Structure 1
């Protein structure tokens, strides 16, 4: 059974891997024996996190801003220079924006579309040669996109561009899964609920708001790092080899409310 869930020796790229959910996933893969490459916008932070994670395994940093023109292609080219195959791509980098309906800015849609959707598509397609090199009939290469339950249900907060782009990530996941199945590349999405992250800090740092959120979750708590890392490792292991085109809510049952 330990072999069934093993990712030992796999090469994994995690975008947005220096904090929040991306860091949870990167830390989990490093601890499980994978060679992990993390990427994020802030070079100093990205490199410091990679050094920290290297204390318990193998991790390196490639700082790139995926939201700017040419960012995804630059990251893909650097990854291809360093490794000849990529077993797992985790498209986690993302952004959010909240504002009241009638003052919600057009720039929010432009920025979030570029980071949350376009960069996912461009990076995945640019890394297809490295993913194809790792793909096999019994052990496909894996793409794991990080969506959100806010792309499944209507969120309580006014985050119109965020929820729309995360719904787009889910549909893009299904489209890519269908297109790439014949090449032995699986594409799945994780849709997180409430986790400790910069995006959720404004709510979870307030004890009253945190308690209210926990009360809404059927399992009665905020997500933990092992919840996120465990789902990603499952999708990347032999146990997840026959799953593609799925959107998995990791939300303590929040989406059972509809």
Structure 2
């Protein structure tokens, strides 16, 4: 939800925070007994939250609630990791950059070439890019990773300024 700060509706802010943060917390609470029952030392249970690079950097659009909700989700992920590790539950977040999605459709139509120009790998992300990261985090390969926020953004966060 992008809107200038002077006219940003309170109701929209609450809606975005509820969806992107509160509901993730509530779902985690509900699933915690199942996660704990499945978790072992060599094969921990995995919580994988979906954040955004907009929770890491300052976005160009005025997406106050979205950016704040994703930054808060990243921090909540780290807090959960710190407390759930002793129960053999890992908690990590994936922070996608520009991907084709319903939410990004109009932005990509209007600014797609400009966005791709700011991605060092020269393309928009594909579903397989996030899926592969989730597979890593949920597999034995990622069993010793917890509290991480992994950008999957084609390098947009580290793009050199020329």
What TM-score bracket applies, with the shorter chain setting the length?
over 0.9
Q: Is 2:121 aligned against 1:248?
A: no
Worse overlay, 182-191 or 197-206 = 197-206
- Which of 36, 41, 62 pairs up with 1:158? 62
Tell me what 1:99 maps to: 3
Query: What is the CA–CA distance in structure 2 between the aligned matches of 1:181 and 1:126, rounded to whole Å?
Result: 18
Secondary structure, aligned partner of 1:111: helix
Query: What is the CA–CA distance in structure 2 between the aligned matches of 1:193 and 1:156, rounded to whole Å?
Result: 13
5+ residue gaps, structure 1, are 1-96
**Equivalenced residues, count:** 160
Tell me what 1:182 maps to: 86
Tell me what 1:214 maps to: 116
Tell me what 2:39 maps to: 135
Q: Is 2:125 aligned against 1:223?
A: yes
Query: What is the CA–CA distance in structure 2 between the aligned matches of 1:120 and 1:257, rounded to whole Å?
Result: 30
5+ residue gaps, structure 2, are none
Secondary structure, aligned partner of 1:218: coil
What is the correspondence of 1:83-94 to structure 2 with a 5 Å cutoff? none
Shift of 1:257: 4.0
Shift of 1:98: 1.1
Retained in 1: the 8 A contact 2:118–2:159? no
Shift of 1:108: 1.6
Query: What is the CA–CA distance in structure 1 between the aligned matches of 2:9 and 2:65, rounded to whole Å?
Result: 9
Shift of 1:126: 1.3
TM-score norm. by structure 2 comes to 0.96
Q: Is 2:13 aligned against 1:115?
A: no
Query: What is the CA–CA distance in structure 1 between the aligned matches of 2:31 and 2:85, rounded to whole Å?
Result: 16
Which stretches of structure 1, 4 residues or more, deviate above 3 A after TM superposition? none
TM-score norm. by structure 1 comes to 0.61
Secondary structure, aligned partner of 2:49: strand
Tell me what 1:60 maps to: none
Q: Is 2:105 aligned against 1:201?
A: yes
Normalized per residue, which structure has more helix? 2
Query: What is the CA–CA distance in structure 1 between the aligned matches of 2:17 and 2:49, rounded to whole Å?
Result: 15
The alignment's C-alpha RMSD in Å is: 1.1
Q: Relative CO higher for 1 or 2, CA cutoff 8 Å, sep ≥ 6?
A: 2
